[in-house]
Amino acid sequence: MILVLLMAGAMWGIGAAMGTPRQARWTMIGLLLVAVLAVQVVLPAGHPLREATGRSPALWLLILAGAGVVWLYGQGLSWVRAEARARDPVTPDTGMTDGLAPAGSTFGAVELQRYARHMVLREIGGPGQARLKRARVLVVGAGGLGAPALLYLGAAGVGTIGVIDDDVVEGSNLQRQVIHADARIGMPKVFSAQAAVSGLNPFVTVRPYNRRLTEEIADELISDYELVLDGSDSPETRYLVNRVAAARGVPVVGAALTQWEGQISVWDPARGAPCYECVFPVAADPALAPPCAEAGVLGPLPGVLGAMMAVEAVKVLTGAGEALRGRMLLYDALYAETRSIALAPRAGCPVCGGARAS
The residue ranges that bind Zn ion (CB under 5 A) are 275, 277-278, 349, 351-352
Between 153 and 246, name the residue whose CB sits nearer to Zn ion. Answer: 246
Between 189 and 243, name the residue whose CB sits nearer to Zn ion. Answer: 243
E strand or H helix at 342: strand 337-342
Q: What gap in Å lies between CA 43 and CA 97, rounded to an integer?
A: 71
Between 270 and 278, name the residue whose CB sits nearer to Zn ion. Answer: 278
Please report how the helices 22-42 and 57-86 are oriented relative to each other, as an axis angle in degrees rounded to 10. Answer: 150
Least gap, CB of 351 to Zn ion (angstroms): 5
Catalytic residue among 275, 278, 292, 352: 292
Least gap, CB of 239 to Zn ion (angstroms): 11
Q: What gap in Å lies between CA 73 and CA 163, rounded to an integer?
A: 51
Between 247 and 292, name the residue whose CB sits nearer to Zn ion. Answer: 247
Q: What gap in Å lies between CA 116 and CA 175, rounded to an integer?
A: 32
Q: CB under 8 Å to 243, separation ≥6 — which residues?
A: 277, 351
Q: What gap in Å lies between CA 282 and CA 286, rounded to an integer?
A: 11
Residues making up the chain, counted from first to last? 358
- Residue of this chain nearest to Zn ion (CB atom): 349
Least gap, CB of 313 to Zn ion (angstroms): 21
Asked if 140 and 232 count as a contact pair (C-beta separation under 8 A), the reply is yes
Please report how the helices 235-248 and 215-222 are oriented relative to each other, as an axis angle in degrees rounded to 10. Answer: 40
Q: What gap in Å lies between CA 331 and CA 16, rounded to an integer?
A: 63
| Burial status of residue 327 (CB atoms within 10 A of its CB: 0-12, 13-18, 19 or more) | middle
Asked if 242 and 351 count as a contact pair (C-beta separation under 8 A), the reply is yes
Sign for the CA dihedral angle at 9, 14, 17, 18 comes to negative
Between 230 and 277, name the residue whose CB sits nearer to Zn ion. Answer: 277
Asked if 253 and 311 count as a contact pair (C-beta separation under 8 A), the reply is no
Between 136 and 325, name the residue whose CB sits nearer to Zn ion. Answer: 325
Least gap, CB of 276 to Zn ion (angstroms): 7
292 carries an active-site annotation: yes
Least gap, CB of 175 to Zn ion (angstroms): 35
E strand or H helix at 265: strand 261-267
Between 165 and 277, name the residue whose CB sits nearer to Zn ion. Answer: 277
Question: If we measure between CA atoms, which residue out of 311, 235, 312 comes closest to residue 266?
Answer: 312
Least gap, CB of 254 to Zn ion (angstroms): 12
Least gap, CB of 126 to Zn ion (angstroms): 36
- Position 114: which residue type? R
Question: If we measure between CA atoms, which residue out of 150, 137, 153, 136 comes closest to residue 193?
Answer: 150
**Catalytic residues, which ones?**
292
